[in-house]
Homo-oligomer: A and B are copies of this chain.
Amino acid sequence: MGKQMTEMLKGTLEGVVLAILAVRPAYGYEITATLRDQGFSDIVEGTVYALLVRIEQRGLVDVEKVPSEKGPPRKVYSLNALGGEYLEEFWRTWNFLAERIEQLHHNIENPQEEGA
């Protein structure tokens, strides 16, 4: 993966996964597949599992083991109240950053408007 993308995912991937779980509960393998579907084509699975461990330890998600037809039991994660709050803050942080970055982009393309 591009180095820029790798760095940019730090701090955003977590929000992305929480946002996926906000739509409906899911298990790790499924989340990885969803991410790949949505264009994050070279996210490695280990990354997702490590992230899931972190958010579980922070109490942002509830976990339920569900037997699977093939392979080990699935660990189905669902966003809980604390996770919901955390996700809200993620959106606030994201919006803050996105606004400022868009502003910078605008500045570059319209350099004359500088002042104020």
Binding site for B on A (CB under 8 A): 2, 4-12, 14-16, 19-20, 22-23, 38-40, 89-91, 93-94, 96-98, 100-101, 103-105, 107-108, 111, 114
B12 touches A8 (CB 8 A): yes
Q: How far is the CA of A110 from the CA of B49 in the complex (A)?
A: 27
The count of identical subunits is: 2
With most chain B CB atoms within 10 A of its CB, the pick from A38, A39, A40, A93 is A93
Chain A contact residues, majority secondary structure: helix
In angstroms, how far is the closest chain B Cβ from the Cβ of A71?
Answer: 26
With most chain B CB atoms within 10 A of its CB, the pick from A15, A23, A97 is A97
B93 touches A16 (CB 8 A): no
